[in-house]
Amino acid sequence: MYVMIDSNLQICDKSLKRTPQGYLMFDAIIARSGSQEYLAFELGIFGEDPNRRIMIDRPPEEVTDPMSVASFINMPATDEHPPGGQVTPDNFSKYAKGIVIDASATESNHVKASLVVHDAGLIKKIEDGKRELSAGYQAEIEFSDDGKSAVQRRIRGNHVALVDAARCGKECSIFDSKPIPKEVINMAKMKINGVEYEIADSVAPAVLILIKDNETLETKLEDSVKEVSRVQAVADAAEEEAKAAKKKMEDEEEDDKEKEKKIEDAANERVSVLLSAAKIIKDYDPSGKSLSEIKRDVVTDALPDLDLSEKDDAYVEARFDILSEESSGQTRLNDGLRQQMQDGDITDAVSVARKKKIERSQNAYKGEKK
């Protein structure tokens, strides 16, 4: 497994000096071989006893490995370890106070480094006596079967921190913060709705379950909203179909009424014409003839001297109406129509005759005479 751990050492006081720009430069041992005691939580181990002690061995060949040594070059120097144990691109500007400019292995299986501190606040703390260092790095930890000891391999540097308490005393000065057993809250990073948060490892599983449950509920809610929309669409369609069917039925009823009225009007008109024809011509057989044919027959029979060959239906209808009203005894109207026709005003005569015809047709079935 890979975890972030630290190794504490100390600044070499004699190397402290200011650069022409005012920065503070110094040399320090930032890594050494040998064994050191860590608390379980420092290695990312929690469980029932995060404060139990585990002895970690750093073999010389791992500490002085060229890749391990080179990994510290250009790593940032910090004032204490950053929360979460690592310097990253996201928090670099907040925690980086300087830089490791060089690193090399020594004959005593240590790693010596040259650092430059740029931050005025940290420079003052160092000059006021803050000397101890703690290297933060990543390593592969191989645990023993009983879990009480382990070996570090493939060490890769992350940062070098100035700390207040060195793990190995003056030998580790400037460089290894010694932890005090206490209740430890290890933080885990988690994204919620696209925003990254740090939460305690102990509650992370519960949070993940809640997030999953929330996602499930959101999915169900979305499905429910879609179903409601679908049902509403079906209901709207059904309502529209019902309205359309109702309108069609009303239209058909209206059409039926109109048809009935037209049939009734036509029947009334035919009855009126037949009644008038029967009064004017005895034993007249209208079978199979239209109203215009009947009227023409009646006028021809009643007025044999009148040539209708070039007369239109309107003229014939007007003459028929005059004959009909004469047969009904309405001489006053007949005289008026006759006078209009004699005066040559056939248009008005036809109009009056047509109006009277319509009135008779509408009232014929009532047995009324107009």
The first and second tokens of residue 358, run together, are 């319509």
| Predicted confidence (pLDDT) at residue 294 exceeds the cutoff of 80 | yes
More confident residue, 354 or 283: 283
> Within this chain, do residues 181 and 304 fall inside the same structural domain, yes or no?
no
Mean pLDDT of 261-270: 86
Please tell me the predicted confidence (pLDDT) of residue 70.
95
Count of all residues that appear for the chain in the document? 370
Q: Is residue 242 part of a domain?
A: no
Task: Say if residue 15 is in the same domain as residue 127.
Answer: yes
Which residue, of 158, 185, 212, is where some domain finishes? 185
Average pLDDT over residues 259-269: 85
293 and 152 belong to one structural domain: no
Query: Is residue 72's pLDDT more than 80?
Result: yes
pLDDT at position 148 over 50 = yes
Q: Is residue 200 part of a domain?
A: no
* 56 found inside a domain: yes
**Residue 147's pLDDT band (boundaries 50, 70, 90)?**
confident
Task: Report the pLDDT value the prediction gives residue 173, as an integer from 0 to 100.
Answer: 41
Which is higher by pLDDT, 93 or 46? 93
Residue 100 in domain: yes
Pick from 10-14, 36-40, 281-285: least confident = 10-14
- Mean pLDDT of all residues in the chain? 79
- Same domain, yes or no, for 151 and 269? no
- Is position 208 within any domain? no
If residue 116 lies in a helix (H) or strand (E), which one and from where to where? strand 110-117
Determine, yes or no, domain membership for 212. no
Output the pLDDT for position 370: 43
- Per DSSP, the chain holds a count of helices (H) and strands (E) of 9, 12
On the question of pLDDT at 76 being above 90, the answer is yes
User: Can you name the residues that pair with 7 across neighbouring β-strands?
Assistant: 135
Q: Confidence band (pLDDT; 50, 70, 90) for 281? A: confident
What is the tens place of the pLDDT at every residue in 181-235?
444 445 566 666 677 766 665 566 677 677 777 778 888 888 888 888 888 888 8
**Are 116 and 24 within 8 A, CB to CB?**
yes
pTM, to two decimals: 0.45
Alpha helix segments (H runs only) across the chain: 60-63, 66-70, 92-95, 120-127, 204-280, 291-302, 313-327, 331-342, 346-363
Question: Which amino acid, 362?
Answer: Q
> Is the same domain home to 73 and 160?
yes
Give me the pLDDT at residue 183, please: 45
**The pLDDT of residue 40:** 77
Q: Are residues 10 and 97 in the same domain?
A: yes
Please give the residue range of the domain that contains residue 87: 2-185
Domain boundary among 185, 216, 241: 185
Residue 49 lies in a domain: yes
- What count of Cα atoms within 13 Å lies in the side-chain half-sphere of residue 247? 6
pLDDT the model gives residue 177: 43
> Which helix H or strand E contains 191, and what residues bound it?
strand 187-192
Are 30 and 152 members of one domain?
Answer: yes
Residue 222 lies in a domain: no
180 and 277 belong to one structural domain: no
Q: Are 270 and 151 in the same domain?
A: no
| Contacts by residues 356-360 (CB-CB < 8 Å, ≥ 24 positions apart) | 356/321, 356/325, 357/269, 357/272, 357/317, 357/321, 360/272, 360/324
**Tens-place pLDDT, residues 149-175:** 889 899 999 999 998 865 544 444 433
**Same structural domain, 181 and 328:** no
Q: Which tens digits make up the pLDDT trace of 85-103?
A: 889 999 999 999 999 999 9
Give the whole-number percent of the chain exceeding pLDDT 70.
Answer: 73
DSSP letter (8 states) at residue 39:
E
The pLDDT of residue 178 is above 80: no
Are residue 27 and residue 168 in the same domain, yes or no?
yes
Higher pLDDT, 341 or 82: 82
Asked which of 185, 213, 247 is the last residue of a domain, the reply is 185
* One domain, residues 75 and 163: yes
pLDDT band at 248 (very low <50, low <70, confident <90, very high): confident
Nearest to 117 by CA among 133, 106, 138, 105: 133
At 64 the pLDDT is: 93
Total structural domains within the chain: 2
74 band by pLDDT with thresholds 50, 70 and 90: very high
